[in-house]
């Protein structure tokens, strides 16, 4: 499979990648056996770029990716995960519902500060059981997740300290690249006008149903040499399933329209 370079870095990824939300039980349960078989199928097909996040199953997806990749030659694949959410153990009846079936028993807090980013990376290493993460994405910062007022606070934390943590991690070789992992265009524009990014994992905003990234974001990424990793290419389901009963669009049940 052909590869493409991430931004101005030396890091290259296969042009098709594997996203790990479903391995964390998004919308339906996913057994460990099914997760391992699916990852092996992706590997056999030539995919060598794997993306996960603490949010996917509240740590479950990271654990499964780590179990699968632990015995693969380390330089044979690229791994990205995400920062911005920290998890704490809670009783089973207090696990929040974020559309994950059978997640691990944790609740989450958002933290985009310097310390929050550093803690998130440490926790990810522990869940993965690996000694290297190639790309870190700041996860779900923006009004789509937080609303306008809370986004202002999180944006300030990222600008005042979170980006400094990411740059420090990259400069010291802990990671090779960093960027945003989001579902909206505006926050990408806001961050890029303040700070350069290696890459953006943009979900659902550059697809057959949603072209909102075209007007401003794609030209800006071209000008700044910021790579776009296009996620959510099926708009969370409906472009794969068609307009069937229970189809999802934009992470919600699809409307009649």
CATH of the domain at 62: 3.20.20.100
Q: Give the C-alpha separation, 78 to 254, whole Å.
A: 33
Mean pLDDT value across residues 7-33: 97
**Marked catalytic residue, from 49, 56, 112, 114:** 56
Mean pLDDT value across residues 192-202: 97
Is position 247 within any domain? no
Is position 246 within any domain? no
**Marked catalytic residue, from 49, 77, 82, 134:** 82
Q: Give the C-alpha separation, 73 to 27, whole Å.
A: 32
**Marked catalytic residue, from 49, 51, 178, 251:** 51
What b/e string do you get for 81-97 counting C-beta neighbours within 10 Å, with b at 16 or more? bbbbbbbeeeeeeebee
Confidence band, pLDDT 50/70/90 cuts, at residue 171:
very high
Q: Give the C-alpha separation, 230 to 207, whole Å.
A: 8
Is 71 labeled as catalytic in the residue annotation? Answer: no
- pLDDT at site 251: 86
Express each pLDDT in 79-124 by its tens digit. 999 999 999 999 999 999 999 999 999 999 999 999 999 999 999 9
What is the token pair recorded at 10? 């030396």
* Residues whose CB is less than 8 angstroms from the CB of residue 45 and which lie 6 or more positions away in sequence, other chains included: none
Determine the structural domain holding residue 142 and report its residue range: 3-240
Is 82 labeled as catalytic in the residue annotation? Answer: yes
pTM of structure? 0.96
- pLDDT at site 204: 94
Mean pLDDT value across residues 117-145: 97
- pLDDT at site 236: 87
Q: What is the mean pLDDT of the chain?
A: 97
Is position 191 within any domain? yes
Is position 175 within any domain? yes
Express each pLDDT in 41-57 by its tens digit. 999 999 999 999 999 99
Is position 255 within any domain? no
Per cent of the chain over pLDDT 70 is 100
- pLDDT at site 180: 98
Mean pLDDT value across residues 201-222: 96
Q: Give the C-alpha separation, 203 to 112, whole Å.
A: 20
Mean pLDDT value across residues 68-78: 96
Q: Which of 67, 114, 116, 69 is nearest to 88 (CA)?
A: 116
Is position 253 within any domain? no
Is 3 labeled as catalytic in the residue annotation? Answer: no
Number of structural domains (the chain) is: 1
Is position 161 within any domain? yes
Alpha helices in the chain (DSSP H): 32-44, 60-69, 114-128, 143-157, 163-171, 186-192, 217-224, 238-241
Is position 257 within any domain? no
């Amino acid at each position: 499979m052909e590869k493409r370079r991430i931004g101005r870095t030396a890091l290259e990824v296969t042009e098709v990648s594997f996203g790990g939300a479903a391995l964390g039980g998004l919308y339906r349960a996913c057994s460990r056996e099914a997760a391992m078989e699916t990852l092996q199928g992706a590997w056999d097909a030539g995919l060598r770029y794997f993306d996960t996040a603490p949010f996917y199953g509240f740590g479950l997806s990271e654990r499964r990716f780590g179990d699968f990749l632990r015995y693969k030659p380390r330089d044979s694949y690229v791994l990205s995960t995400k920062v911005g959410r920290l998890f704490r153990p809670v009783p089973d009846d207090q696990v929040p519902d974020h559309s994950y079936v059978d997640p691990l028993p944790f609740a989450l807090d958002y933290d985009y500060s310097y310390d929050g980013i550093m803690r998130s990376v440490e926790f990810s290493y522990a869940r993965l059981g690996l000694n290297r993460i190639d790309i870190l994405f700041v996860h779900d910062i923006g009004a789509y997740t937080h609303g306008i007022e809370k986004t202002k606070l999180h944006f300030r934390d990222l600008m005042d300290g979170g980006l400094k943590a990411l740059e420090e991690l990259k400069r010291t070789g802990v990671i090779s690249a960093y960027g945003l992992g989001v579902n909206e265009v505006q926050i990408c524009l806001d961050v890029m006008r303040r700070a350069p990014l290696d890459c953006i994992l943009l979900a659902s905003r550059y697809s057959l149903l949603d072209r909102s990234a075209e007007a401003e974001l794609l030209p800006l990424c071209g000008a700044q040499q910021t790579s776009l990793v296009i996620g959510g290419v099926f708009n969370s389901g409906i472009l794969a399933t068609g307009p069937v009963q229970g189809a999802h669009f934009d992470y919600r049940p699809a409307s009649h329209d």
